[in-house]
Structures are given as structure tokens and as C-alpha cells.
């Protein structure tokens, strides 16, 4: 029947209509789909023993059922009916015949609700692809068209779930379509369900990667919020220099202690045994000055190196108020380990507290160094002056002794 003059002309009309008026975004509901529906309608109709006027009505409806897409996606069936009615009226079709064609077109509205045999045939023909092995390709074209024409966007999983629901609820109405297409439709459904499972597992893996990536970014962010490398370097170098200065001060103090101890040993072993003789009375004052210089130098040197021990305790309130410096052992050496760990954790999570603790550590180390070097300067000055005075005293005493004994 599709080879007679009327249907040849109708095919050319629909072809030209789609070619000239259909949006290029209609990648599924186009002439190719319409031609497939016409061929499927004829195939099913012949198998279902439909012929004559009924077959003609069915095929005309199949040609026109999607022509309304040239006017847009919404309510395209109504536009299809208008186009069909205009064409068939010009072709001198009777009102009754035209109405039958329009009723069959109405059967293609989703969800399908066929009322008679012709309705069932066109419904099965319209969704003939559900039972074909190229179903996935057709479904992808449908998705693309919905995104372009209807602004309906789906994730891959959402689209596969839509397909799963549609295939699960769909059924073919005619015996021929059910027998021919149900097996492949079931295979298509199983494939969709398998793809959903794979996609869900893949999404879980991707979500885990994103989570790990976000956690890594958060770690980097937290690390970036801590003191910058330049600031860390500044504190590290400055503290190291201060510690070196402290070591130098201790070394200098040890030198004075050693020298003073040697002087004491010389005085006690060499000079003191000679002081009980009247002839050596002139050595008493120089020796006392010498010993006093050594002893005083030793005392000042010891004071410069003597450590100051603090209480070694602090309270949680001290941490909250940021009054305690947890970087100095003297502030925590008596605290329980758990309290100390909590305090250090608070310090590491508070950038401002950390900076201030480093500053405080550096500041008080500077104060200690100032005290050390002041005492060391006093010790060295006293030692120097004492040695000079001792030497002068020995010279003067020796000179006085020579004069008193008549030795010039």
C-alpha cells in the first residue's frame, strides 16, 4: 500500500516538511524515526491481519504522528493533528476518515492508552526500538534531544534509571510485537540494569577520590595557614643564633672558672705556706687581693650560668588566655602528659597562639642572654682589674720590702 501514488506523495510531503521546518536539535523525532514507525506499523498490521481502509488509516496516522515537532516539543501531537487535518482536507478525505486518523495519532500521547487495535499497533510501532538491538543508540539520541529541546538534563545514572523504569513498566499490546520484541527488550533491560550497577560503583570510586582529594586540599590549606616557610626560617635561624650565643657565654664562663680555679690552686699551694714567716709579710695584701679576685670572678661566673627553675605547671585557663609558653620546658615539666598534649594541640591549631609562643620564647631567651652577658662582662672586668691590681700590689710590696731591708 505504501507504494501507491497517495503514499508516495505523502512521504515526499513529510520529508520536505521535516527537511525545511524541523529544528536540527530534533535528533530523534525526525524523518528517520517516522519512516521506521511507518514500516513497523505496516509490518505489525500485516501480521495482525489488518488491511483495507484500516491499514490506510493506520499508515496515514503513522506518517503524521510526529510532524507536530516542526512547531515545537510541547503538545506536538495536537500540532500533528492540525497538519494532518489540513493535508487530508486538501486531499478531499471525508470528515469521518480524517477523524479516525486523528484518533489514531492521539493514541501516541504518553503515557500510551490504546483503545482499539489500530491504537495498539501504532503504539507498538512507535516504541518498536525498545525490542531492537540498537536500543542504546536510540536512547542516547532521545536523551540528546530532550536536553536540547526541553532543557531536561540527566546524569548518566539518572538517565539509565529512567530507562530502567520505562522498560520495566512498558509492555507491547499486539501479539506480534510481544512475541518478536519481548526477548530483546528483556536483554536491553538487563543491560541497562548492569550498566547502572557499574555506573554506581564507578561513582562511588570517583566520590572516594574526590573525598580524598578534598581532604588532601584541606590538609594543604591547614598547612598553608600555619607559619610560612620564611617566617619559620626566621624563627629557626634567630633561635639557633641565640642558643649559640648562650653556648658562647657558658664557654666564656667556664674559661673564667677554670682560670680562677688555677689561680686559687697556685695561691693556696705556693703563696699561702710562705705567709707565716715574718720575712714574707709583704706578700699578705697582694695575695689576699689575688685570691679575692679569683673567688669573686668564680662567683660572678657561676651566677651567669646558674639556671632558673620555674614551677613547671600551668592551668587550662592559662592556655585559653594564651599566657603560658608551651615551647619552654620550665613551664610544663611537672604537668601530666595528657594535659601537655592537649595544650600543644591547642597551640598547633591556633596560628596566633603559635606565633606569640615563638615570639615569647625568643624574647625571654634574649633576656636570659642579656643577664648572662652583663654578668660575664662584670666578671671579665673584675678579673682584669683584679689581676692588674694584684700584679701592681706584688710589685709595690716587693719594692717596699727592698727599701725597708736596705736593698736598693
Write out pLDDT tens, residues 40-82. Answer: 999 999 999 998 999 999 999 999 999 999 998 888 899 999 9
Q: What is the pLDDT at residue 222?
A: 66
Assess if CATH 1.10.3210.10 describes domain 5-210.
yes
Of 219, 193, 207, 388, nearest in space to 290 by CA = 388
Can you read off the three cell numbers belonging to residue 20?
525545511
Domain residue ranges in the chain? 5-210, 229-404
Rounded to a whole number, what is the distance in angstroms from the first to the last CA of the chain? Answer: 160
Q: What is the pLDDT at residue 164?
A: 94
| Chain segment 122-145, per-residue pLDDT in tens | 999 999 999 999 999 999 999 999
Q: Residue 325 region, left (φ>0) first, then alpha (ψ -120 to 50), else beta? A: beta
On the question of a cis peptide bond just before residue 111, with omega within 30 degrees of 0, the verdict is yes
The residue-averaged pLDDT of 358-387 equals: 85
Q: What is the pLDDT at residue 310?
A: 58
CA-based torsion, 77, 81, 84, 86: positive or negative: negative
CA-based torsion, 202, 203, 206, 211: positive or negative: negative
CB 45 within 8 A of CB 177: no
In angstroms, the CA 395 to CA 113 distance is: 134
Q: What is the pLDDT at residue 286?
A: 78
**Strand, helix or coil at 93?**
coil
Q: What is the pLDDT at residue 323?
A: 60
Q: Determine how many CB atoms are found less than 10 A away from the CB of residue 86.
A: 11
More confidently predicted of 227 and 141: 141
Amino acid at each position: 500500500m505504501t507504494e501507491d501514488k497517495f503514499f508516495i506523495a505523502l512521504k515526499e510531503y513529510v520529508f520536505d516538511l521535516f527537511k525545511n521546518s524541523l529544528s536540527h536539535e530534533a535528533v530523534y523525532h525526525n524523518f528517520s524515526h517516522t519512516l521506521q514507525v511507518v514500516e513497523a506499523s505496516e509490518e505489525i498490521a500485516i501480521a495482525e491481519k489488518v488491511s483495507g481502509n484500516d491499514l490506510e488509516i493506520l499508515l496515514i496516522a503513522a506518517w503524521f504522528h510526529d510532524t507536530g515537532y516542526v512547531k515545537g516539543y510541547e503538545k506536538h501531537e495536537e500540532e500533528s493533528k492540525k497538519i494532518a487535518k489540513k493535508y487530508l482536507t486538501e486531499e478531499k478525505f471525508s470528515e469521518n476518515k480524517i477523524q479516525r486518523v486523528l484518533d489514531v495519532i492521539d493514541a501516541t500521547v504518553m503515557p500510551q492508552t490504546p483503545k482499539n487495535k489500530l491504537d495498539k499497533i501504532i503504539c507498538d510501532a512507535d516504541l518498536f526500538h525498545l525490542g531492537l538491538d540498537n536500543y542504546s543508540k536510540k536512547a542516547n539520541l532521545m536523551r540528546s534531544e530532550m536536553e536540547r529541546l526541553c532543557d531536561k538534563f540527566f546524569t548518566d545514572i539518572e538517565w539509565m534509571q529512567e530507562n530502567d523504569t520505562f522498560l520495566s513498566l512498558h509492555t507491547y499490546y499486539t501479539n506480534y510485537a510481544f512475541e518478536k520484541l519481548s526477548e530483546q527488550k528483556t536483554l536491553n533491560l538487563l543491560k541497562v540494569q548492569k550498566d547502572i550497577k557499574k555506573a554506581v560503583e564507578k561513582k562511588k570510586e570517583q566520590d572516594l577520590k574526590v573525598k580524598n582529594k578534598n581532604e588532601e586540599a584541606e590538609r594543604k590549606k591547614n598547612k598553608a595557614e600555619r607559619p610560612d616557610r620564611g617566617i619559620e626560617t626566621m624563627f629557626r635561624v634567630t633561635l639557633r643564633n641565640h642558643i649559640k650565643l648562650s653556648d658562647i657565654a657558658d664557654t666564656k664562663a667556664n674559661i673564667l672558672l677554670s682560670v680562677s680555679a688555677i689561680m686559687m690552686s697556685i695561691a693556696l699551694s705556693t703563696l699561702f705556706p710562705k705567709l707565716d714567716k715574718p720575712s714574707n709579710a709583704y706578700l699578705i695584701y697582694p695575695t689576699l687581693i689575688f685570691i679575692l679576685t679569683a673567688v669573686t670572678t668564680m662567683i660572678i661566673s657561676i651566677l651567669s650560668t646558674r639556671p632558673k627553675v620555674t614551677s613547671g605547671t600551668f592551668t587550662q585557663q592559662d592556655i585559653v588566655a594564651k599566657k603560658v609558653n608551651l615551647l619552654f620546658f620550665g613551664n610544663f615539666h611537672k604537668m601530666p602528659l595528657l594535659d601537655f598534649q592537649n595544650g600543644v594541640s591547642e597551640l598547633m591549631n591556633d596560628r596566633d597562639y603559635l606565633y606569640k609562643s615563638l615570639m615569647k620564647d625568643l624574647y625571654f631567651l634574649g633576656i636570659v642572654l642579656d643577664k648572662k652577658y652583663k654578668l660575664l662582662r662584670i666578671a671579665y672586668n673584675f678579673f682584669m682589674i683584679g689581676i692588674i691590681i694584684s700584679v701592681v700590689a706584688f710589685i709595690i710590696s716587693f719594692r717596699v720590702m727592698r727599701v725597708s731591708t736596705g736593698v736598693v
